Structure 1
Amino acid sequence: MGAIVFSPASMRILFSLITLSLLLHPQPVLAIHAGTTRHYEFNIELQNVTRLCHTKSMVTVNGQFPGPRIVAREGDRLLIKVVNHVANNISIHW
């Protein structure tokens, strides 16, 4: 069997048709998450919490311990306002 040989002119036409078909073909729409800005406000306070019949003062976030859940997707921007109502400095670990 012999090899198929294309002339340079036919190769240019073939390449042009392939390029044109790729440019005109409707591209599939990909579900790309552009990102959302999510706003949270954390109020840090001391509250008396009873656990296992023992009451003690604990640092809470929005009245919760552990604090509230943060919901975010990759690409999101988080704006978190933290208001410290405790007399001492605090440290928050994400």
Structure 2
Amino acid sequence: MAKRFNEESPISDVLKQFISQNKLEAGMDIVNVRDAWKNVMGPGVNNYTTEIQLKGTTLYVALSSAVLREELSYGKEKIIKMINEEVRKDLITQLILR
């Protein structure tokens, strides 16, 4: 029979430990960045977003509207800053809109 420990710990700490032991940070970062994009940009931009990819520190976002892509290209630095704040990590250094 397995030994039980009497130490109680919050589920968030257990999940963080599990993620770090199994080297799942990269996958979690991708999911967190996708969620952050949806939260930061809102439903108007999400309707025109077709694909979101995180490769290294570069975020690739495919948009179906050329006008929206041009408009968002003027505020790339601000978007990067807002997404990094939402994720609570400095994950993104470059944003490429396609």
> Do they superpose with TM above 0.5?
no
TM-score (norm 2): 0.24
Q: Which of the pair has the greater relative contact order for Cα pairs under 8 Å at 6+ separation?
A: 1
Greater radius of gyration (CA): 1
Higher share of residues assigned helix = 2
What's the TM-score once normalised by structure 1's chain length?
A: 0.24
